Amino acid sequence: MLSYILRRLGAGVVLLAVVTLVTFLIFFVIPRLAGQSPRQMAAMYVGKAPTTEALDNTVNRLNLDQPVILQFWEFVKGIVLGTEYEFGGQTVECAAPCFGYSFQTYQAVFPEIISRLPVTGSMAIGAAVFWLVGGVAVGVISAVKKGSLFDRLAMGAALAGVSLPVFFTGLLALALLVHAWEILPIPGYTPFTENPAQWAVGMLLPWLTLAFLHAAQYARQTRGGMLETLGEDYIRTARAKGLTEGRVILKHGLRPTLTPIVTIFGLDIGMVLGGAVLTETVYSLNGVGRYAVEGITSNDLPVILGVTLFGAFFIVVCNLIVDVLYAWIDPRVRVARA
């Protein structure tokens, strides 16, 4: 088991290195191959109507006139060890991991992302509980009661959840549940340490909106897996041995179905932790996703670069956790790879 975890850790580190390389190629090499000069590339990092001096300083600061190998080395060194920038004759230290400075706010990108992480993390954790528990429970009941009214209604709702975009369901829920019927309060973020009850109440509508999108996929996935598993010979054997129906379903039927569920859960939670762009924008939550939107709309490339790497990091880490969980859920995984 330990060797399996160590191998997956090594693979995760390699994958992070590959993600960093691909991100560097997208932001620094492809524009050069497309024929952009160092000053044209620097213009993407200094905002609108830059001065000649600002362009030259950015070219020197990012080594845009240096060979690609040297640029990549400085890029990686800044992320791993930090770096120093020259602003107006002053030397400013950017601590690791350094993603640069926003040209809009002149603040370091990474601390800004960390300051917004509690909002995104709160939304991701709460919504994940709703979509995982709700989606799997609905999928199991639908499989057991195949063809019933509940099954048809649940799969219809699941189809709607998969089909409708968050900006539609979010605005519709806001208009009906908050403004028309006044069932829920206006969404907002309150730190958990200040008032846990207010934190949960303020985040309830974003949780439900985000969970409605993802729970639909989990319900359909669970139902399909359960229907296939419940037709296996060992399920009939378990029933013939006199086991209760609940034990047959939950212990022998549900467990093999969990492997693909864990796979998509790892991907989903990693993507949401990297920034739930639409949900945070709809409910005006200052999370990582909204920070990315602000960077895109203002052409603030250091912000876009930082959020991209930050989101990729969470996806890689969550996939690593999923790989470890595989070995716990299905021992055949670690035996086959040993």
Q: Which tens digit of pLDDT belongs to each residue from 142-158?
A: 999 988 999 899 888 88
Identify which has the larger pLDDT, 43 or 221.
221
How far is it, in rounded angstroms, from Cα 114 to Cα 84? 20
Q: In a 3-state reduction of DSSP, which class is residue 100?
A: coil
The full set of domain ranges for the chain reads 1-109, 112-334
Instruction: Kindly report the average pLDDT of the chain as a whole number.
Output: 85
Architecture of domain 112-334: Orthogonal Bundle (1.10)
**pLDDT tens digit string along 312-325?**
888 888 888 888 77
> Is residue 51 exposed (0-12), middle (13-18) or buried (19+ Cβ within 10 Å)?
exposed
What is the dihedral sign for C-alpha 309, 310, 313, 318?
Answer: negative
Task: Measure Cα distances from 329 to 109, 257, 325, 333 in Å.
Answer: 38, 10, 6, 9
What's the pLDDT at 5?
A: 76
Q: What is the mean pLDDT of residues 25-43?
A: 83
Say if residues 279 and 123 touch (Cβ distance below 8 Å).
yes
What's the pLDDT at 197?
A: 93
pLDDT at 269 over 80: yes
Q: What is the mean pLDDT of residues 254-281?
A: 82
Q: What is the pTM of this model?
A: 0.81
Q: What is the mean pLDDT of residues 276-280?
A: 86
Query: Which pLDDT band holds residue 9 (cuts at 50, 70, 90)?
Result: confident
Say if residues 206 and 123 touch (Cβ distance below 8 Å).
yes
pLDDT at 173 over 80: yes
Q: What is the mean pLDDT of residues 77-91?
A: 78
Query: Which pLDDT band holds residue 26 (cuts at 50, 70, 90)?
Result: confident
